[in-house]
Amino acid sequence: MRIILAAPRGFCAGVNMAIGGLERALELFGAPLYVYHEIVHNKRVVDGFRRRGVIFVEDLEAVPEGSHLVYSAHGVSPEVRRQAEHRRLRTIDATCPLVHKVHLEAARFARQGYGIVLIGHAGHDEVVGTLGTAPEHVRLVETVEDVDRLELPDPDKVAYLTQTTLSVDDAARIVARLRQRYPAIVGPAREDICYATQNRQEAVKILVQQADLVLVLGSRNSSNSKRLAEIACDNRRPAYLIDGAAEIDPAWFRGNEAVLVTAGASAPKEVVDECVAFLCERFGARVEEQTVRVENARFALPRELRHGPDPAIVPLPVAVPLGPAGPFPAVPAAPQVPQ
């Protein structure tokens, strides 16, 4: 067996910031500590914090007045912030800055009188927060067909925004249809799909051509992880979205194939390491890391947790295309599998 370890994979800057913020809050304030929504969409991460006394809630009524409350990386609506203030909660905002950017765009377009089309997945925590930023102005679409059903008050004053974890290709098709229906439509000055989502999707698109099968480490409620598995399937490769090595079924493998291993932006490094170790032990796999992009973005901790001058945020993104690299010995590329 040959394992192709995709890079980049796993935690992005926003997830690192949110998890680091929750760790710091536990150090400072102890348990119980409340979080609105899951801090990130990963079962291993969330279960680990639960064992340490973190309580994840979907309703602020479940949070005792005066308690510390962390907002998840997915962001919250202004109404949630108002409710928290009313309940005198001591809030810590771990919203990913790239999600916060979308909220600011929604508020700006609303102030300017635009009808706003949000491209995203209904019910996703991030989408719920963005919809709540300008509820009277925003309409959600998930598909090209949804665009055809839109009815907007002024077709000459329309703007669009996107969820940060969408399929780049799917979003592009929806935007193209929006431009056909609303030629005057405007969008964000800088696209909303985050750098980490794009980089992980690009890596799978490139590396899947060498693979017979794809393992995606990530939870089933992780939008960006699901997109990676979908890309593999679109390229006619079987793909399995799993939370860890315990979910691997040896029957998936012959033992001599090329297996692409990647991870969504909220999947921790240890789950990848466990899966690679399982395949190496069970099938004698050789491992090579192939790097498509290099990421060095960092976000500062939530301001409520900082001491002294606010640290600068590293500019985004820095993504340099590279050839195969990494700590593992390179092996010759496998021939492409006919599609």
Q: Of 150, 165, 148, 81, which is closest to residue 116 (Cα–Cα)?
A: 150
Q: Structure tokens of 262?
A: 């990647």
Helices (H), 134-181: 144-148, 168-181
Of residues 23, 65, 85, 126, which has the active-site annotation?
A: 126
Indicate if 126 belongs to the active site: yes
Q: Which two tokens stand for residue 59?
A: 């309703």
Amino acid letter, residue 158: V
Quick check: helix, strand or coil at residue 171?
Answer: helix
Of the CA atoms within 13 Å of residue 262, those in its CB half-sphere come to 36
DSSP labels for 47-103?
Answer: HHHHHTTEEEES-GGGSPTT-EEEEPTT---HHHHHHHHHTT-EEEE---HHHHHHH
Phi, psi torsion values for 26, nearest 5 degrees: -60, -40
| Paired residues of 198 in beta bridges | none
Give catalytic residue positions: 126
